[in-house]
Amino acid sequence: MGFSRQEYWSGLPKGCQGPSLGLCARSSGETRLNKEKIIQGQGIDEPLSETGFKQAAAAGIFLKDVKFTHVFSSDLTRTKQTVHGILEKSKFCKDMTVKYDSRLRERKYGVAEGRPLSELRAMAKAAGEECPAFTPPGGETLDQLKRRGKDFFEFLCQLILKEAGQNEQFSQEAPSSCLESSLAEIFPLGKNCASTFNSDSGTPGLAASVLVVSHGAYIRSLLDYFLTDLKCSFPATLSRSELTSVSPNTGMTVFILNFEKGGKGRPTAQCVCVNLQGHLAGVNKTP
């Protein structure tokens, strides 16, 4: 990943007394239209291809030991099938209820949906613009997409803060260290994860570990929101092009969010990895 396993955790704020959230965002598996470079957006509800199902299964095996507390997904077919493929491989989350949310849908491309990517680029060139900034007729602007992502993210934060407050009110037990330790097993979070998130260090454990399954352009927009609005800290080894590229099929992006006590103000966001693809090394693509 370009930085040591302990480097990330040593940078976490020690004085933060509010809850922390682990957020794993990932794009859907491959569809036939992905392979053929056809724009799907929201209007073309294509199922996963054979390769897409393999990618979802590979992602599930990679995440099988992670103890998610919440799972959200776009309500389009390709993301529903992806999240099912992930959870069926899980040791702990097989029976978890998935919350499908239309706010997690892919960017709407209007008249370009169902057409080759080359036609979208030609439309942008004719308008004197470039992709992805170009918005085809009937499509969703980047600002509209970003606002939709922000709306979901703020909803998620309020949900976690509310649940964390209820847990604090009705139980004196600290959040289970199994959440962060399960993340640390597969992501570069540091071997001493459990000792970092405990009462002795003054930093609470993760209040929640959330899996979000969405789409490539949507996750790119979410990254832009984290970078420009939340001033998220990203690994120094990441280039600007990596931060602005479309997430590949089942690519994983992971954040740790730290809230102030009482949930006031925006959370402090730190990125662990962007568009991780190592889990796909053994996936054989169909001809």
Task: Consult the annotation and say whether 105 binds a ligand.
Answer: no
Task: Consult the annotation and say whether 107 binds a ligand.
Answer: yes
State CA 17 to chain mean position distance: 25
Please state the φ and ψ torsions of residue 67, each to the nearest 5 degrees.
Answer: -95, 90
Task: Consult the annotation and say whether 106 binds a ligand.
Answer: yes
Task: Consult the annotation and say whether 220 binds a ligand.
Answer: no
CB-based contacts of 94, cutoff 8 Å, min separation 6: 87, 88
State CA 123 to chain mean position distance: 30
Residue 148: which of 84, 74, 39 has the closest Cα? Answer: 74
Task: Consult the annotation and say whether 109 binds a ligand.
Answer: yes
Contact status, residue 117 vs residue 38, Cβ threshold 8 Å = yes
The whole-angstrom separation of Cα 34 and Cα 29 is 9
* Residues of each annotated binding site: 78, 106-109
* Residues of each annotated binding site for substrate: 78, 106-109
